[in-house]
C-alpha cells in the first residue's frame, strides 16, 4: 500500500497549480522562481490549515494500526482504519470481478476510513479552487463563521438571523434548480430575490405575483409550494427554516429529503447527506454500482454511501463539490477523467483500465495481486445481488465509464389531448363608449398538473373522450351495430360540442351564449403541443368571438352558482401580463398569428404532424379565400368576422 501522504498528492498538486498561476504576473528578479513557488504554496497550505470549528486532527500512529468496525446500517460491511487502497488495488478488484462474474457488497462501499478521508479532502480542495461562482453559493466558514464574541453563546439572535436568511436563499435556489439548467435559473433567482429578499416578504406576497415571476421555469407547483412553505415557516417557526432535516422534510411543503439535506448542510453546516442526479452519477461511478438506478434498493444504496462519505466539518462544501464534479467533470457523456481529483478512488475508471490491459496482456491480471486474491477479506458470502448483468443493460457503453449509472429503458411520454376554447367577448367600454375585447380565464384545481394556474376554458382528455364515447354509442345504436371498445381521436365537431357544453353546464354561461347566438363566430385554429416531463399534450384550439355590444349585461359578467370554478375576464393588455402556463400561451400565439395573417385554421388543410380532416366535415361556405387570409392590425372587428365559420345554433346541435 502507498502511504497516505502520497495518496493525497493529487489534491495538493491542484493547490500548488493555483499558487503557480497566481505568481505569473510577478516579475521580481530578486526572488528565485523556485523559492517563489514554494513560498506561495506554503502560504496557501497554511491558510488551509487554519483551525476552524470542529477541525479534524491527524490520526496518531497508534490509530493507524489495522482496526475495524461495523456500520450500523449494514452489518455485513466492515470498515478498516488501516490499509489505504490505491488505483492498482481497484484495478485488481475489477480484474477479479470480471473473471469471476460476481463481487461482494463491499465492492460498492468505502471500506477504509483513510480512503474515505482521502476522497473528502480531495473533493473539498478541488471545490475551493474550481467551483463555479453562482449567486446563491456562499462558504459557511468564510461568511458566517462565529466571531470570538459569539463563541460560548448558545443562542445569538444576529447569527440565527444570518443562518435563517442563508437557509431561505438556499431553499429558493434548490427548488428552482430542480429539473432546470443552472444558466436558466440564475436570472430567475436574481429577480426573485430582488422582489422577495426575505422569507417574510415571500409569505406576504400574492400567489398570482409569485406565479408570474415563475412563468417560464415550468413545474409551477414548485412556486405554489414555496409560497405555502414560507407562510407556514413564518407562522410556526418564527420565519426561520428548521436546522433539523427530518423536521424540514416533514413540516415544510415541497421539501423532500434532498432539499432538506441541501438546506441544513449549506446554511447551518449540519452533516447531512444529499442525493440528486449528479451525485448518483458520481457515486455510481466511484463505486461501480451496476443496478438499475430507478430501483428503490439501488437508490437507497446511493443514500447510504452519501451518508457514509459526507464531510463532518464542511458538509455544505462537500455536498456542493459532489454536485459540481457531476456537473462539470463527471458528466453523462465524455467525462473528463483526467481532470478528476478522485480518479484513484474510482472503480469505474479502474474497470476501464483493467479491460484495456486484458486486451493487451495475455493473462490480463493486476501486477500487484494474483487472480486468486479475494476482495472480501473475511471470506463471508455477501455476493451483491443489485447489479444487473451486462447482457440486460440498455446501453452501448459497456467497458466505459459512461456505462454508469445504469438505467432502465426510458418510457416515452404518454400522449394526451385537450380542447381549448379562447372565448373573446366584445363589449362597450362604459367610460369611453368604444368597443373592447375581454378574454375568459378559468382557474385550474388546486391539485394535479399545473395546480392553481389560470387558463382558457379547457376540456381535458377524459371528458373529451367521454363525450366521444357517448356520441359513438348513440350512433352505433341507430345503426344497430356494436359500440366501439376504445375512444376514437376527437374531431373538431366533437371538441366544439364539448367546449360548448363546458361553457354552458360547468361555467354557467348558457344565458350569455343564448343571448348572443346570432353574433357568435367560431374558428378552428389548429393545435399546439407542449412536452411535460411525462406527458406530451396536444392543445386543440378553438377561437370563439361573442359580440355582446348590444346587450345591457355587465362587462365583467360572471355566472351565478357556487359549483363553477373561479374565473375572470381580462383585457388584451391584462392577458399579455398574466401568468399563464406555457402550453396555454402557445394557443394564444396561434390566435395572434391568425390575426396577423401568418396562419390559416386547419379546417380542411394539411398541418405538419397532423392528419387531413374529413372532407365531409367541411362546409364549402367555411373556406377562406386567398384575399381574406391576411388581417391587418388596423382592421376593425367587422373584418375579423369574415374569417369565422357560422356558429351552430342550439337547435342544430
Q: How far is the C-alpha of 170 from the C-alpha of 320, rounded, in Å?
A: 12
Q: How far is the C-alpha of 618 from the C-alpha of 626, rounded, in Å?
A: 17
143 counts as catalytic: no
Residues 6+ apart with CB under 8 A from 12: 45, 125
Q: How far is the C-alpha of 373 from the C-alpha of 18, rounded, in Å?
A: 41
CA neighbor of 179 nearest in space, from 439, 531, 448: 531
The enclosing H or E element of 68 equals strand 68-70
Structural contact between residues 541 and 591, judged by C-beta atoms closer than 8 angstroms: yes
In 237-360, where does DSSP find H-type helix?
245-251, 257-267, 277-286, 296-309, 315-328, 347-360
Beta bridge partner(s), residue 541: 420, 526
Structural contact between residues 519 and 491, judged by C-beta atoms closer than 8 angstroms: no
Residues 6+ apart with CB under 8 A from 566: 442, 443
Pairing of strands 567-571, 435-443: antiparallel
Q: How far is the C-alpha of 327 from the C-alpha of 279, rounded, in Å?
A: 9
Q: How far is the C-alpha of 507 from the C-alpha of 486, rounded, in Å?
A: 28
Q: How far is the C-alpha of 32 from the C-alpha of 464, rounded, in Å?
A: 82
- In the DSSP assignment, the letter for residue 509 is -
End-to-end C-alpha distance for the chain, whole angstroms = 86
- In the DSSP assignment, the letter for residue 505 is I
Q: Choose the catalytic residue: 174, 351, 455, 460.
A: 174
What's the residue count for the chain? 653
Structural contact between residues 263 and 167, judged by C-beta atoms closer than 8 angstroms: yes
Structural contact between residues 522 and 544, judged by C-beta atoms closer than 8 angstroms: yes
Which residue is associated with the grid cell 440565527?
Answer: 160
Alpha-carbon distance values, 551 to 54, 244, 335, 504 (Å):
77, 62, 68, 18
Neighbours of 564 (CB within 10 A): 15
Which residue is associated with the grid cell 474515505?
Answer: 116
For 220, left (φ over 0), alpha (ψ -120 to 50), or beta? alpha
Residues 6+ apart with CB under 8 A from 145: 52, 53
**Annotated active-site positions, please?**
174
Amino acid at each position: 500500500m502507498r502511504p497516505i501522504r502520497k495518496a493525497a498528492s493529487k489534491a495538493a498538486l491542484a493547490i500548488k497549480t493555483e499558487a503557480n498561476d497566481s505568481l505569473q504576473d510577478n516579475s521580481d528578479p530578486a526572488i528565485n522562481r523556485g523559492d517563489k513557488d514554494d513560498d506561495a504554496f506554503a502560504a496557501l497550505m497554511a491558510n488551509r490549515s487554519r483551525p476552524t470549528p470542529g477541525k479534524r486532527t491527524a490520526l496518531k500512529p497508534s490509530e493507524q494500526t489495522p482496526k475495524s468496525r461495523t456500520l450500523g446500517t449494514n452489518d455485513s460491511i466492515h470498515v478498516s482504519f488501516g490499509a489505504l487502497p490505491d488505483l492498482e488495488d481497484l484495478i485488481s478488484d475489477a480484474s477479479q470481478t470480471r473473471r469471476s462474474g460476481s463481487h461482494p457488497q463491499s465492492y460498492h462501499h468505502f471500506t477504509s476510513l483513510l480512503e474515505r478521508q482521502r476522497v473528502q479532502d480531495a473533493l473539498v480542495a478541488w471545490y475551493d479552487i474550481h467551483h463555479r461562482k453562482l449567486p446563491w453559493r456562499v462558504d459557511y466558514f468564510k461568511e458566517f463563521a462565529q466571531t470570538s464574541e459569539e463563541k460560548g453563546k448558545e443562542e445569538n439572535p444576529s447569527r440565527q438571523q444570518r443562518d435563517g436568511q442563508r437557509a431561505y436563499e438556499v431553499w429558493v435556489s434548490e427548488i428552482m434548480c430542480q429539473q432546470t439548467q443552472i444558466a436558466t435559473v440564475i436570472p430567475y433567482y436574481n429577480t426573485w430575490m430582488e422582489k422577495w429578499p426575505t422569507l417574510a416578504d415571500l409569505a406576504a406576497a400574492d400567489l398570482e405575483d409569485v406565479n408570474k415571476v415563475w412563468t417560464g421555469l415550468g413545474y409551477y407547483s414548485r412556486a405554489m409550494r414555496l409560497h405555502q412553505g414560507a407562510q407556514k415557516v413564518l407562522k410556526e417557526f418564527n420565519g426561520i427554516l428548521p436546522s433539523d432535516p427530518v423536521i424540514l422534510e416533514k413540516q415544510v411543503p415541497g421539501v423532500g429529503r434532498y432539499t432538506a439535506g441541501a438546506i441544513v448542510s449549506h446554511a447551518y453546516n449540519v452533516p447531512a447527506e444529499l442525493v440528486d442526479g449528479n451525485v448518483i452519477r458520481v457515486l455510481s461511478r466511484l463505486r461501480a454500482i451496476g443496478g438499475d438506478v430507478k430501483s428503490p434498493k439501488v437508490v437507497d444504496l446511493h443514500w447510504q454511501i452519501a451518508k457514509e462519505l459526507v464531510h463532518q466539518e464542511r458538509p455544505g462544501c462537500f455536498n456542493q463539490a459532489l454536485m459540481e464534479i457531476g456537473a462539470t467533470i463527471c458528466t453523462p457523456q465524455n467525462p473528463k477523467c483526467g481532470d478528476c481529483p478522485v480518479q484513484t478512488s474510482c472503480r469505474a475508471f479502474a474497470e476501464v483500465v483493467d479491460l484495456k490491459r486484458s486486451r493487451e496482456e495475455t493473462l490480463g491480471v493486476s501486477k500487484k495481486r494474483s487472480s486468486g486474491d479475494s476482495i472480501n477479506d473475511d471470506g463471508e458470502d455477501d455476493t451483491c445481488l443489485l447489479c444487473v448483468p451486462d447482457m440486460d443493460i440498455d446501453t452501448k457503453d459497456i467497458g466505459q465509464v459512461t456505462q454508469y449509472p445504469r438505467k432502465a429503458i426510458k418510457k416515452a411520454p404518454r400522449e394526451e389531448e385537450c380542447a381549448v376554447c379562447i372565448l373573446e367577448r366584445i363589449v362597450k367600454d362604459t367610460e369611453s363608449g368604444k368597443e373592447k375585447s375581454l378574454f375568459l380565464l378559468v382557474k385550474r384545481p388546486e391539485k394535479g398538473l399545473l395546480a392553481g394556474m389560470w387558463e382558457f376554458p379547457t376540456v381535458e382528455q377524459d371528458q373529451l373522450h367521454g363525450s366521444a364515447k357517448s356520441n359513438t354509442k348513440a350512433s352505433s345504436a341507430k345503426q344497430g351495430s356494436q359500440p366501439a371498445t376504445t375512444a376514437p381521436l376527437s374531431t373538431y365537431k366533437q371538441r366544439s360540442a364539448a367546449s360548448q357544453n363546458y361553457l354552458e353546464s360547468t361555467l354557467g354561461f348558457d344565458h350569455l351564449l343564448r343571448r348572443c347566438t346570432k353574433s357568435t363566430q367560431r374558428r378552428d385554429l389548429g393545435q399546439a403541443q407542449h412536452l411535460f416531463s411525462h406527458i406530451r399534450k396536444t392543445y386543440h384550439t378553438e377561437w370563439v368571438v361573442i359580440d355582446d355590444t348590444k346587450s345591457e349585461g355587465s362587462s365583467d359578467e360572471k355566472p351565478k352558482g357556487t359549483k363553477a370554478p373561479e374565473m375572470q375576464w381580462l383585457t388584451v393588455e391584462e392577458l399579455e401580463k398574466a401568468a399563464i402556463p406555457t402550453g396555454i400561451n402557445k394557443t394564444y400565439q396561434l390566435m395572434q398569428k391568425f390575426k396577423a395573417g401568418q396562419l390559416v385554421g386547419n379546417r380542411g388543410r394539411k398541418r405538419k404532424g397532423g392528419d387531413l380532416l374529413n372532407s365531409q366535415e367541411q362546409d364549402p361556405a367555411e373556406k377562406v379565400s386567398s384575399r381574406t387570409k391576411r388581417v391587418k392590425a388596423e382592421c376593425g372587428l367587422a373584418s375579423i368576422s369574415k374569417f369565422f365559420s357560422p356558429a351552430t345554433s342550439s337547435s342544430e346541435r
